[in-house]
Amino acid sequence: MVKNMKKYFESLARRLLKTKFVDLKEEEKNVIEVIASQSSIAEDVNESFHEQLSFGQRVADRVSAFGGSWRFILLFIAIMIVWVMVNTFHLLEATRFDPYPFILLNLILSTLAALQAPIIMMSQNRQAAKDRMELSQNYKVTLKTELEIMLLHQKVDELTALIAKKEQENDKI
């Protein structure tokens, strides 16, 4: 049976893609095999991608999502305003811990930027990898769809030719 399947794969590849099965890319071979088995090729890339993420990668994605949100921006603005007010007004002389020019605040902001930038970049790299997986999956689904449509066209053409032949035979009688 395995030998018959290989012949069938070769036949599909030659008929649909006009090339040998062994010359196909791995994705195209996969599509031919799925067509031969008459199964679905679509899969949820989100689910399979998120299963591969480590704990640190999931944390980095959450930090990145929060760091790029309006909630973070508004919270950060509020903290900055409170910080500047507490450390500026003379009424709060006893509570001032970072007087103007706010050297401690500058250090905190620099540290935050230094930590946040690589975390966001890691998250963007993972998103790019996920996008590549989605593109590959879309390519497979599109290729399978096109090949299945080609097979249907061939079958319709064969049926049309068979009907025309039967009609000619009936006309002769």
What tokens appear for 84 in the block?
């500047």
What tokens appear for 117 in the block?
């930038």
28 closest CA partner among 150, 131, 143, 149: 143
Say what the pTM is: 0.65
Torsion from C-alpha of 156, 161, 162, 165, nearest 10 degrees: 160
Give residue 44's pLDDT: 79
- Average pLDDT over the chain, rounded to whole? 87
The 10 Å Cβ neighbour count of residue 106 is: 11
At residue 58, φ and ψ (nearest 5 deg) are: -65, -40
Give residue 3's pLDDT: 65
Share of the chain above pLDDT 70, in %: 97
At residue 113, does pLDDT exceed 70? Answer: yes
